[in-house]
Chains A and B, each alone.
Chain A
Amino acid sequence: MQPKPDDLQLSPEEAARALAAIQNSRNAMRAAIRAHRGHYHLWLWGVIWIGMAMLAEFRGLAGVHLMPWLCAAGITGSMVLGFVQGSQIRMPVDKRFLGVLAAVILFSALWPLVLRAPVNDQAIFAYSGLVAMLCYVIAGLWFDTYLLWLGLVMTAFILVGLFCFAAIFWWWIAIFGGGTLIVSGFYIRYFWR
């Protein structure tokens, strides 16, 4: 039987002990939760972005043609990570969220083809990256705000690289794209919440 609220009379010492117990419990959980954040995904995709940029820089068109394979490897890796991490701390799959992502990706892939938009390798990469960052922004609005900020920062870097640093675009993407993903992985692993 639970005591009634009126029966709960605590001294300041007992209240302080209860607050200390809360803090201890939260500290124990904080370390465990941080180990289950999305940092592995960000590190994985940071390395893949750097890999794609370096392939394009050093192998030219042949390297560009290898990019979809790197993306496929990244998607497979993310799925495996999600499965492994989800066995302890998970966020239930929201079907409406998946529907929104599918619609964004489908429309983003479809309209440039239908409209026969003139593009080059850098523009195609930037466009694909911007669509991916739109997905980050949506995920950030839906789930956790760090993805929102990361999506916005990466969007800015991609656009600046495309319009202001076209001559060193792939190096720019490796450093400010892949590098930002990796650094943000460290940030959420060790400092976020």
Chain B
Amino acid sequence: MPELDPVIHQPVRLQIMAALSHLGCREQVDFTFLKTKLDLTDGNLGAHLLTLEQAGYIAVEKSFVARKPKTFVALTAAGRRAFEAHVAALTAILKPKGTS
């Protein structure tokens, strides 16, 4: 039976992982864009991204677009697997014991 992931379980990180899981497997999203879509502050999003990055669940890439520094974020394969397992664990809690 899949277990809940304590890194992902925190509500803001759950929100971030859910949003990133909707991207294609090679797609990256801009930090500012993600911040706006999730209605978070720079500091809040940055801190949670750092936790997720340290867990190996996301990859952060800094680059320049039109000479401006940009930070792009993407889900790693391990992150996608961990998120899917977390969702499966949540779903399993909803199901009465003995059903599959």
A positions within 8 Å CB-CB of B: 2-5, 7-8, 10-12, 15-16, 18-19, 21-23, 25-26, 28-30, 32-33, 86-92, 94, 143-144, 193
Tell me if B15 and A25 are in contact (CB < 8 A): yes
- CB-CB under 8 A from B9, the residues of chain A are 3, 8, 18
Tell me if B22 and A12 are in contact (CB < 8 A): no
Assembled-state Cα–Cα distance A7/B7 (Å) = 12
Cβ proximity bits B16-39 to A, threshold 8 Å, 1 near / 0 not: 101111111011111001000110
- CB-CB under 8 A from A16, the residues of chain B are 94
**A154 shortest CB reach to chain B, Å:** 21
Tell me if B6 and A3 are in contact (CB < 8 A): yes
**A14 shortest CB reach to chain B, Å:** 8
B positions within 8 Å CB-CB of A: 3-7, 9, 11, 14-16, 18-24, 26-30, 33, 37-38, 61, 65-66, 70, 72, 87, 90-91, 93-94
Tell me if A26 and B19 are in contact (CB < 8 A): yes
Interface of chain B: mostly helix, strand, loop or mixed: helix
Assembled-state Cα–Cα distance A87/B30 (Å) = 7
Closest to A23 in B: B18
- CB-CB under 8 A from A4, the residues of chain B are 6
Contact partner of B27 (CB less than 8 A), chosen from A5, A11, A18, A89, is A89
Contact partner of A5 (CB less than 8 A), chosen from B5, B11, B22, B93, is B5
Tell me if B15 and A15 are in contact (CB < 8 A): no
Instruction: Enumerate 29 A-B pairs (CB-CB under 8 Å) in ascending A order.
Output: A3-B6, A4-B6, A8-B6, A10-B4, A12-B93, A16-B94, A19-B91, A19-B94, A21-B15, A21-B18, A22-B14, A22-B18, A25-B16, A26-B22, A29-B23, A29-B37, A32-B37, A88-B29, A88-B30, A88-B33, A89-B28, A89-B30, A90-B28, A90-B30, A92-B26, A92-B61, A94-B26, A143-B24, A144-B24
Tell me if A28 and B24 are in contact (CB < 8 A): no
Tell me if A18 and B26 are in contact (CB < 8 A): no
**B67 shortest CB reach to chain A, Å:** 12
- Given A16-B94, A19-B87, 10 other A-B contacts at CB below 8 A? A3-B9, A5-B4, A10-B4, A11-B93, A15-B93, A18-B11, A30-B22, A32-B33, A87-B70, A91-B27
- CB-CB under 8 A from A7, the residues of chain B are 6
Tell me if B21 and A26 are in contact (CB < 8 A): yes
Closest to B28 in A: A90
Assembled-state Cα–Cα distance A52/B29 (Å) = 36
- CB-CB under 8 A from B66, the residues of chain A are 87
